[in-house]
Amino acid sequence: MAEALEIQEIQDEFLREAGFNLTNLRNQIQLTYWSEQHFITQDLLELLPFGEILSNIRFYSYVDYSLDELISKANQTLLYWRLSGITQYDRSPVNQLSLFYDETFLWHYSVPSYQEEICSQIQLGHRVRFLSQFLLSQTEIEVEFNEIQLQTNLNDDFQFIYTDSNTYQYKFANLRWQPIHTILSFPLINPPTFSLPITVPNTLRRETEYQAYLNQVQGLPNNIHIQDHYWDSVDSTPANTLRPTRVNTPSTSSDTDYWTPTNSTHLCVCGTDICYCDT
Domain coordinates in residue numbering, the chain: 2-235, 247-279
pLDDT digits (tens, 9 = 90+) for 232-266: 444 444 444 343 333 233 333 333 333 334 444 55
Please report, rounded to a whole number, the percentage of residues in the chain having pLDDT higher than 90.
53
When mean pLDDT is compared across 12-16, 59-63, 116-120, the lowest value belongs to 12-16
Q: Is the pLDDT of residue 73 over 80?
A: yes
Dihedral, 62, 97, 93, 7 alpha carbons, nearest 10? 80
Instruction: Specify the amino acid at residue 146.
Output: N
> In terms of pLDDT, which residue wins out, 241 or 121?
121
- Tell whether omega for the bond before 179 is within 30 degrees of 0, i.e. cis: no
Average pLDDT over residues 40-63: 94
Q: 128 or 182, which is more confident?
A: 128
Q: How many whole angstroms separate alpha carbon 224 and alpha carbon 232?
A: 18
In terms of pLDDT, which residue wins out, 63 or 277?
63
- For 51, half-sphere exposure in the C-beta direction (CA atoms, 13 angstrom radius) is 25
Classify residue 26 by its DSSP letter: G
Confidence of residue 95 (pLDDT cuts 50, 70, 90): confident
Residue 279 has pLDDT above 70, yes or no: no
User: Which three-class secondary structure state does DSSP give residue 205?
Assistant: coil
Q: What is the pLDDT confidence band of residue 2, given thresholds at 50, 70 and 90?
A: low
Distance CA 61, CA 248 (A): 16
User: Identity (one letter) of the amino acid at 99?
Assistant: L
Residues 121-138: what's their mean pLDDT? 94
Strand partners, 189: 150
